[in-house]
Structure 1
Amino acid sequence: MTLTMLPKHDKAIDITAETCPMTYVRTRLALDAMEEGQILLVKLKGEDPVRNVPRAAADQGHEPLDLLEQPDGSYVLVIQKC
């Protein structure tokens, strides 16, 4: 994950090699290890993760802040732990 031009964050994970439901399992494990208010960047790829991971994070009470498309076709999801 290129960290240039990405928001300030406390942790970053790359789940581009994962498939659903492991995409959110990995995201949730990362969020569980963080403090409230911290920012997690999640690099993901594919239609299902782009649609499902932000929704699942919101369903768990976290705040998806942004979804940034990257030059390689992946996305970086910015989540604030709540």
Structure 2
Amino acid sequence: MSEIKADHFLDMRKVSCPLNYVRTKLKIEEIAVGETLELLLGDGEPVVNVPRSVKEDGHKILSLKQVKDYYSVIIRKC
């Protein structure tokens, strides 16, 4: 399986809920439909809540994987 290369990047590892979702939503609004965003999140609530909220907004989670002590989430804007 090939690695997904994101068009945009946002590091939210040190940002707490709900601010990490708000900043993610603002970043998604800046990108074009069909483009991808790689989002880095810390463990716990962020990795559960942010992807769920992004999906509820109608976008697609292409990948969610643990990388050392954080998570990488690839989102496609729909």
Q: Same fold (TM over 0.5)?
A: yes
Aligned sequence identity (%):
35
Find the residue that maps to 2:17 and give its secondary structure: coil
1:17 aligned onto 2:14: yes
* Per-residue deviation, 1:6: 5.2
- Please state whether the residue corresponding to 2:4 is helix, strand or coil: coil
CA offsets per residue over residues 2-33 of structure 1, 9 Å max, x none? xxx95211100000111000010111011000
**Which residue is equivalent to 2:23?**
26
Given the alignment, which residue of 71, 74, 79 partners 2:75? 79
- Structure 2, unmatched stretches of 5+, are none
CA distance in 2, matches of 1:40, 1:22: 17
Q: Which runs of 5+ in 1 are unaligned?
A: none
- With structure 2 as the length reference, what TM-score do the two structures score? 0.93
* Corresponding residue pairs, total: 77
Q: Note the C-alpha offset of 1:68.
A: 1.4
Query: Counting strand residues as a fraction of each chain, which structure ranks higher?
Result: 2
Separation of aligned partners in 2, 1:28 and 1:52: 13
List 4+ stretches of structure 1 deviating above 3 A: none
1:61 aligns with 2:62: no
Is the counterpart of residue 43 in structure 1 residue 40 in structure 2? Answer: yes
